[in-house]
Amino acid sequence: MKLGLSIGYSGATLDLPVALVQRAEALGYDSVWTAEAYGSDAVTPLAFLAAQTRRIRLGTGIMQLAARTAANAAMCAATVDSLAGGGRFIAGLGVSGPQIVEGWYGEPWGRPYYRLKDYVAIMRKILAREAPVTHDGREISLPYRGEGAAGLGKPLKSILHMNPDIPIWLGTGNEATVKLTAEIADGWLALGFVPGSMAEFEPWLEEGFRRAEKATGRAKTRADFTVQASVHVEVTEDVRAGLARLKPEVALYVGGMGAREKNFHKDMMIRRGFAGAAERIQELYLAGRKDEAVAAVPDEWIDMKSLVGPPARIRDRYRAWAESGADALTVRSRQPEAIEVMAQAAGLNGPAREEAA
């Protein structure tokens, strides 16, 4: 199983863990992943890391669609990939939620399913450089001919000769968008994936592959596609304390990262059998009782989607992830010990591991 390292987005100050990324690369990690919400962006840190590393792949997990046009996303991906020497960038995309889309970016929520579909199609046309780009989509069209248009838009082809094979992965989690991911993307940043959940997702993936074959006339199978799960990792002798340290983030996302009526993180918790806790967390969080919302997060929910404890416990519980059906696992941690333990658990054979042996 390949490993990735997630460094997320910044807090109040931007502190890129360059040494940690370099160590992960030396250990044999396959990829490093950034993110964005409403502060630091996902792309710029990867340009910096490209200059500080040699081979580790550089992924956005995720670029928010509302943050940039499809054309600009393709430009960003191709520019960083070129700076990194080619073949290293992974364009991970996602829609975010309506609070950020409309509240931060000032863009309409619209129909995210069709926006994803149009966005990916436009990016692929731009990267391929086969012709000046036109697209007549349900959500996005090029040239633009909507309200306020001057009517002078001209189809264009990228000046930069881009890598046409930059992979596009989607961060999705519900039935409709997972099927779409399998249909139009090269990989899936699997939201809500835990050991044992592949039985739920596999029929959706297979349906997407069938749609892709119908649309293109070319067979698409699971072998042509990457499933990348993610897991929080914390090395500690006190399991309960380690689980408790991960609860504030769960309370934030389940309780406040989304509207009361539309919150993917809450919905995922409900799907995994924690409906009562999810409702209670949201109720408390939105009432301003954040400490109580944190306390309402069950240990069992954290433990299901995390690897917490002494190294032996982490290595033992890693086996379920290795056998989960995912191809790769992103380690969500800035703890140096966690990076080392996971490399051992996955049997990575990077230069640093070989030297240590």
- Convert the pLDDT of each residue in 304-340 to its tens digit: 999 999 999 999 999 999 999 999 999 999 999 999 9
Residue 239 contacts residue 313 (beta carbons within 8 Å): yes
Q: What's the CA gap between 183 and 317, in Å, rounded? A: 32
Q: What's the CA gap between 171 and 187, in Å, rounded? A: 9
The pLDDT of residue 351 = 66
What number is the average pLDDT over the span 144-159? Answer: 96
The pLDDT of residue 263 = 86
> Is a pLDDT exceeding 70 seen at residue 353?
no
Compute φ and ψ for 244, nearest 5 degrees.
Answer: -65, -35
pTM of the entire structure? 0.94
Task: List the single range of 156-170, 175-189, 245-259 with lowest mean pLDDT.
Answer: 245-259
Residue 26 contacts residue 352 (beta carbons within 8 Å): yes
Fold observed for domain 2-236+310-356: TIM Barrel (3.20.20)
What number is the average pLDDT over the span 31-38? Answer: 97
Percent of the chain with pLDDT over 70: 98
Three-state DSSP at 106 gives coil
The pLDDT of residue 262 = 77
**pLDDT band at residue 352 using 50, 70 and 90 as cut-offs:** low
Beta bridge partners of 33: 6, 59
**pLDDT band at residue 259 using 50, 70 and 90 as cut-offs:** confident
The pLDDT of residue 99 = 86
pLDDT, the chain, mean: 96
Lookup result for tokens 């309409």: 108
DSSP3 helix / strand / coil % (the chain, rounded to 5): 45, 15, 35
Residue 306 contacts residue 243 (beta carbons within 8 Å): yes
Beta bridge partners of 230: 330
Peptide bond into 45 cis (omega under 30): no
DSSP H helices in 185-274: 198-216, 239-245, 247-251, 264-271
Q: What's the CA gap between 55 and 87, in Å, rounded? A: 9
The pLDDT of residue 261 = 78
The pLDDT of residue 321 = 98
